[in-house]
Amino acid sequence: MPNIKAAEKWVRQTQKRTVRNLDAKTRLKTLYKKAAVGTADAETVKDVESQFDKAAQKGTIHPNKAARKKSRLAKAIKAAANAPAKPVKSAKAKSAKKSTSKKTAKKA
């Protein structure tokens, strides 16, 4: 423990900042993951980018990291928009695959 009274205060301040910054970073990660799924609309993406800018401005994250995340988010959204929709498998096809056992597969 520090001997100087001011140093004790610095420790308390550092602990508060650490908790606040960790919370903000965790929230940013969650927002990013939800937006990057591809089902997010333009408004959600815009809000996420804004949150990254605010965090960079406050010093919570490095400005280059905010720019990198925004770029990757835009790239993920673009890829999701261009990707063809996955075909939905019918219930019959799934049950047919499950009904074959290993023994019958070996005999064939």
Residues contacting 8, CB < 8 A, separation 6+:
1, 2
CA angle 89, 84, 44 (to 5 degrees): 110
Q: What is the pTM of this model?
A: 0.68
**pLDDT tens sequence across 87-104:** 777 666 665 566 556 666
In three-state form (DSSP H/G/I as H, E/B as E, the rest C), the secondary structure along 53-76 is: HHHHHHCCCCHHHHHHHHHHHHHH
Query: How many whole angstroms separate alpha carbon 75 and alpha carbon 36?
Result: 9
Within the chain, which residues score under 50 in pLDDT? none
pLDDT for the residue numbered 40: 74
pLDDT for the residue numbered 97: 60
Helix (H, G, I), strand (E, B) or coil at 10: helix
Domains within the chain, CATH numbers bracketed? 5-107 (1.20.58.110)
